[in-house]
């Protein structure tokens, strides 16, 4: 068991030092009215610098990242995060600049953002990019608000329905709802794609738009996309592209050419910025020219070689975050684009799709494949057969931990029972894929022989399966100092 930092605290130990100063130091009571003051200090730990280093180093050893091993978490694109990206993002000229500095002192930063916007527009086939959203979900909200604002500008206030497939990421309907839309769900057909006939029935004068991931969350390219776009556009709606799966289409097909009006990209997926244990990411959006007046302020413009922030945009949705975007993430993404080039990016998608299909071809005789023989950059298999033998998908995932792998995304998409969504990415070698395939096949054998062994996994991790019911019934979300007073 790893101690909490509060449990290694010793009175009067310290890791903090201030500059010495010749400025007269008044006490808090002399600076503020008594009733404004804190009576008891916050119980932060009292530790030495080495205590801090040992503590967090130990925690890092209890964590698994892409650098630790294969991480085929579907829909998350856990590919290698190049070290050069980290290096350039740490340059003081990027990390230590204030958002309100005069524009003349941040020309390099503005230029980088401007150039990145150009590259992202080209990759997605959109006209303009807004770099502001902090993450994919915030990008969705920003993009949907752009759609809303556009319809309002056109006087079509009745367009209040957003259509989402039943296979959509949870953020899609959630973002649409918080942006003020009602949600209509369109079913997947027997091929795992949007049911076009049902879509035709759902559209109308109240249609604001359709949100679609393409390839979708089953790893399938929506083959009817051109017709879908036409149905939505004819009904007066707009198309929103969830870029979570953009790793499949770089240089192969562009959302703008497919008919989408708004896209968001997850730079922490497709463009190799690290996931950070849950963030920060960045979720820039791209729009067609006619929607550009509505994106959040400011946008970055260039005139005669000088870059500036343009706030004068009366139709804008406003701001979705303070300042301009997750800049240091943007730096990393641009570094990646520059290190790949156009051909390199097309190779990314070629190899991502090749790797996924190879894995699928070598697993389909053992695990059920609900949709199709082929896939794009990821695929979904079902553990239904294994469940019948006595071990469900959660146990397969936990057993993978014993073999040193991060499991796939499980129980998503919701349209597949016992789903396992596997995304190998282009960064992994054939040997890695072969080893993982062998393990998944072996786990199937283990379930045939003795499902209980699999059901009790993991056996090798620092803790076993944790009691999530207890955690949620009687939540303990902070350390209790009372039990161990300093």
Partner 1 sequence: MHKYIPNTSEEIKEMIDRIGVASVDELFSTIPDEIRFKGKLNLPKKMTEQELDKYMRELAAMNSSTDDLICFLGAGAYDHYIPSVVNALTSRSEFYTAYTPYQAEISQGVLQAIFEFQTMVSEITGMDAANASMYDGSSSTAEACSIALVNAHKRNRILVSEGLHPETRKVIHTYMSGRDAVIVEIPLKDGETDYDELALLCDDATAAVCIQSPNFFGIVEDMDKAGEIAHANNAAFIVNTDLIALGILKPPSESGADFVVGEAQGLGNPLSFGGPHLGFFATTNKYLRKMPGRIVGETNDAEGRRGYVLTLQAREQHIRREKATSNICSNHALNALAATIYMSVLGKKGLQELALRCANNARYASEKLVETGKFHLKYNKPFFKEFLLEAEEDPSEINKRLLESGILGGYETKRCYPGLQKGWLVAVTERRTKAEIDDLAKKAGGKS
Partner 2 sequence: MANAERRYSKDHEWVRVEGNEAYIGITEFAQDQLGDIVYVELPEVSSSVEKDEVVCAVESVKTAADIISPVSGTVIAINEELADQPEMINEDPYSAWIMQIELSDPTELGELMNAAEYATYCENEE
> Minimum CB separation from partner 1 for residue 154, in Å?
17
Are the C-beta atoms of residues 149 and 295 closer than 8 Å to each other? no
Is 473 a binding residue for partner 2 by CB under 8 A? The answer is yes
Q: CA dihedral in degrees (323, 326, 328, 330; nearest 10)?
A: -110
Binding partner of 112, given partner 1, partner 2, none, CB within 5-8 angstroms per partner class: partner 1
Binding partner of 350, given partner 2, partner 1, none, CB within 5-8 angstroms per partner class: partner 1
Q: How far apart are the first and last CA of the chain?
A: 20
Q: Residues in contact with partner 2, total (CB under 8 A)?
A: 5
Q: Exactly one of 128, 407, 418, 422 binds partner 1 (CB under 8 A); which one?
A: 407
Binding partner of 447, given partner 2, partner 1, none, CB within 5-8 angstroms per partner class: none
- The tokens describing 119, both together, are 């590259």
Whether omega before 290 lies within 30 degrees of 0, making that bond cis, reads: no
Are the C-beta atoms of residues 409 and 73 closer than 8 Å to each other? yes
Q: At what angle do helices 393-402 and 430-449 cross, to 10 degrees?
A: 120
Applying CB under 8 A, the span of 4-12, 205-213, 383-391, 440-448 interacting with partner 1 comes to 4-12
Q: At what angle do helices 430-449 and 327-363 cross, to 10 degrees?
A: 60
Is 270 a binding residue for partner 1 by CB under 8 A? The answer is no
> Minimum CB separation from partner 2 for residue 470, in Å?
9
- The tokens describing 37, both together, are 């003051």
Please provide the size of the chain in residues: 486
Give the closest residue to 80 by CA, choosing from 378, 431, 434, 352.
352
Residue 277 CB neighbour total at 10 angstroms: 7
Q: What is the contact mask toward partner 1 in residues 332 to 371, using x (rule: CB under 8 A)? A: ---x-xxxxxxxxxxxx-xx-xxx-xx--xx---------
Binding partner of 389, given partner 1, partner 2, none, CB within 5-8 angstroms per partner class: none
Determine the 3-state secondary structure of 199 from DSSP. Answer: helix
Applying CB under 8 A, the span of 198-206, 235-243, 384-392, 458-466 interacting with partner 1 comes to 458-466
Binding partner of 209, given partner 1, partner 2, none, CB within 5-8 angstroms per partner class: none
Applying CB under 8 A, the span of 204-212, 320-328, 385-393, 446-454 interacting with partner 1 comes to 320-328
Q: Which is nearer to partner 1, 388 or 470 (CB)?
A: 470
Is 328 a binding residue for partner 1 by CB under 8 A? The answer is yes
Residues 276-305 binding partner 1 (CB under 8 A) are 276-282, 296
In the block, tokens 């790793």 appear at 247
Residues 75-104 binding partner 1 (CB under 8 A) are 76, 78-82, 84, 86-88, 90-102
Is 196 a binding residue for partner 1 by CB under 8 A? The answer is no
Measured CA distances, 59 to 2, 7, 63 (Å) = 8, 14, 7
- The tokens describing 283, both together, are 């979720």
Are the C-beta atoms of residues 159 and 207 closer than 8 Å to each other? yes
User: How many whole angstroms separate alpha carbon 295 and alpha carbon 217?
Assistant: 27
Give the closest residue to 398 by CA, choosing from 468, 326, 448, 464.
464
Q: Exactly one of 23, 472, 476, 477 binds partner 2 (CB under 8 A); which one?
A: 472
- Residue 38 sits at φ, ψ, to 5 deg, of -80, 135
Which helix (DSSP H) or strand (DSSP E) does residue 310 occupy?
A: strand 306-310
Is 477 a binding residue for partner 2 by CB under 8 A? The answer is no
> Minimum CB separation from partner 2 for residue 472, in Å?
4
Is 476 a binding residue for partner 2 by CB under 8 A? The answer is no
Q: Exactly one of 19, 23, 469, 476 binds partner 2 (CB under 8 A); which one?
A: 469
Q: Exactly one of 294, 327, 371, 436 binds partner 1 (CB under 8 A); which one?
A: 327
Q: Which is nearer to partner 1, 29 or 448 (CB)?
A: 29
Are the C-beta atoms of residues 146 and 317 closer than 8 Å to each other? yes
Is 411 a binding residue for partner 2 by CB under 8 A? The answer is yes
Is 468 a binding residue for partner 2 by CB under 8 A? The answer is yes
Q: Which is nearer to partner 2, 61 or 474 (CB)?
A: 474
> Minimum CB separation from partner 1 for residue 274, in Å?
5
- The tokens describing 210, both together, are 């359709």
List residues binding partner 2 (CB under 8 A).
411, 468-469, 472-473
């Amino acid at each position: 068991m790893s101690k909490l930092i509060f449990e290694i605290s010793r009175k009067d130990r310290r890791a903090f030092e201030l500059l010495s100063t010749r400025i007269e130091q008044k006490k808090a009571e002399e600076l503020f009215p008594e009733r404004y003051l804190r009576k008891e200090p916050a119980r932060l730990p009292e530790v030495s610098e080495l205590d801090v280093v040992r503590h967090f180093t130990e925690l890092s050893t209890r964590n698994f990242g892409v650098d630790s091993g294969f991480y085929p978490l579907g829909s998350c694109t856990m590919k290698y995060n190049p070290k050069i990206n980290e290096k350039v993002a740490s340059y003081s000229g990027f990390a230590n600049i204030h958002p309100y500095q005069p524009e003349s002192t941040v020309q390099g930063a503005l230029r980088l953002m401007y150039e990145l916007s150009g590259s992202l527009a080209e990759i997605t086939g959109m006209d303009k990019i807004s770099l502001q959203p902090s993450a994919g979900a915030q990008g969705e909200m920003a993009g949907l608000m752009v759609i809303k604002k556009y319809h309002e500008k056109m006087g079509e206030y009745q367009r209040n329905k957003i259509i989402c497939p039943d296979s959509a990421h949870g953020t899609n309907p959630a973002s649409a709802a918080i942006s003020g839309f009602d949600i209509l769900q369109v079913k997947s057909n027997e091929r795992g794609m949007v049911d076009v006939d049902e879509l035709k029935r759902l559209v109308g004068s109240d249609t604001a738009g359709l949100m679609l991931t393409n390839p979708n969350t089953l790893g399938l390219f929506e083959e009817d996309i051109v017709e879908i776009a036409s149905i939505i556009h004819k009904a007066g709606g707009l198309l929103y592209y969830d870029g979570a799966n953009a790793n499949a289409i770089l240089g192969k097909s562009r959302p703008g050419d497919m008919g989408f009006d708004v896209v968001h990209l997850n730079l922490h997926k497709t463009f190799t910025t690290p996931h950070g244990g849950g963030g920060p990411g960045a979720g820039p959006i791209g729009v067609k020219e006619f929607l550009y007046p509505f994106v959040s302020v400011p946008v970055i413009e260039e005139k005669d070689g000088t870059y500036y922030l343009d706030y004068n945009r009366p139709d804008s949705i406003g701001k979705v975050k303070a300042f301009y975007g997750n800049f240091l993430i943007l730096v990393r993404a641009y570094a990646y684009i520059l290190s790949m080039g156009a051909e390199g990016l097309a190779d990314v998608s070629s190899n991502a799709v090749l790797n996924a299909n190879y894995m699928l071809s070598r697993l389909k005789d053992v695990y059920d494949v609900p949709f199709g023989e082929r896939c794009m950059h990821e695929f979904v298999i079902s553990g239904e057969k294994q469940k019948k033998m006595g071990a469900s998908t959660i146990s397969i995932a936990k057993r993978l931990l014993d073999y040193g792998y991060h499991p796939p995304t499980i129980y998503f998409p919701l349209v597949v029972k016992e789903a396992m969504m596997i995304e190998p990415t282009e960064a992994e070698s054939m040997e890695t894929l072969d080893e993982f395939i062998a393990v998944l096949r072996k786990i199937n054998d283990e379930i045939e022989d003795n499902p209980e062994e699999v059901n009790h996994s993991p056996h090798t991790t620092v803790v076993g399966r944790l009691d999530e019911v207890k955690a949620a019934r009687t939540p303990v979300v902070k350390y209790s100092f009372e039990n161990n007073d300093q």
